[in-house]
Amino acid sequence: MQKRKLGKSNLEVSALGLGCMGMSFAYGPTPDKQEMISLIRTAVERGITFFDTAEAYGPFVNEELVGEALAPIRDQVVIATKFGFKFGPKGEQMGQDSRPEHIKQVAEASLKRLKVEAIDLFYQHRVDTDVPIEDVAGAVKELIQEGKVKHFGLSEAGAQTIRRAHAVQPVAAVQSEYSLWWRRPEEALFPTLEELGIGFVPFSPLGKGFLTGKIDANTKFDKNDFRNIVPRFTPDARKANQTLVDLLGQFAKQKKATPAQIALAWLLAQKPWIVPIPGTTKLARLDENIGAVNVELTPDDLREIESAALKIKVQGDRYPEELEKRTYR
């Protein structure tokens, strides 16, 4: 497995990470815990060293799962988790909370659940407009000084917020959705990250599964699947967006690869400081995703994909309106 550095932070990780959210949250029935522990450990055997979780996934149970799975091999891996929400007695989400005192409480709880001495990468999950980002960065800076956190990250933040945070405590990585069907980060985010030397971690690099080519207009999702409320996943949108999957399929045939591998190889080819974190609960899919690292897209291939993709208008918003409001602030 190739390695990459997240910007100038010296945080070196495998070129592909593993997003662990779906192992206990968001995509229908919860998979068997022991099977997921086995999958995470297999990912390490295959060379993956970067694992992404959050207190909000579950809440709490995903961190516990990741902590248990990686405890025997802690020294070989980098674990990223997130703060920024508050939860009720039954685990229900009750809005955002990035007050410094809350960040510190979350850090203590995450350390225990993850079974670690220090959190490798601690992201603010969403920008909290009630708390100045300087205060957030300052709280994480103190945690870094105390040895409880190693690196600071932001998720779905806007360029100006990133600059303000970075001035207080260097930001190692910014996480945001990015793929051939959601390219907004290229506009204001990439120039900012390049200038400041910050790494970029795309989540949903396979368009929440759509870019694998395994989902079409007739696919039925489980009643608890988050995609049921995503405008981009209505049957009409899926039908319209099939053109993008067909494009990936054409290149997949040429390269003796799969659409998912082309989608990931395209991401890896954009910048050397990009580390996608596709999530999966299946071993075959894990191996398929890892295979993307060895797919070579030439400059001509990339130009061809670019010119074809520019002609495709993706249908449907990527989030319901209420969730989209929390991004790029």
Contact yes or no for 259/245 (Cβ under 8 A):
yes
CA–CA separation, 311 and 135 (whole Å): 43
**What is the pairing mode between strands 85-87 and 93-96?**
antiparallel
Sign of torsion over alpha carbons 177, 178, 181, 186: positive
On the CB side of 12, CA atoms within 13 Å amount to 6
150: closest CA among 125, 170, 132, 176?
170
Nearest 5°: phi and psi at 172? -80, -40
Residues near 196 by beta carbon (within 8 Å), at least 6 away in sequence:
7, 162, 163, 166, 171
One-character DSSP codes across 92-128: -EEEE---HHHHHHHHHHHHHHHT-SSEEEEEESS--
State which amino acid sits at residue 61.
V
Rounded to whole angstroms, the Cα distance separating 21 from 132 reads 28
- 27, 57, 178, 319: the active-site residue: 57
Q: Is 178 labeled as catalytic in the residue annotation?
A: no
C-beta separation of 123 from 80 below 8 A:
yes
Helices (H) and strands (E) in the chain — how many of each?
11, 11
What are the catalytic residues?
57
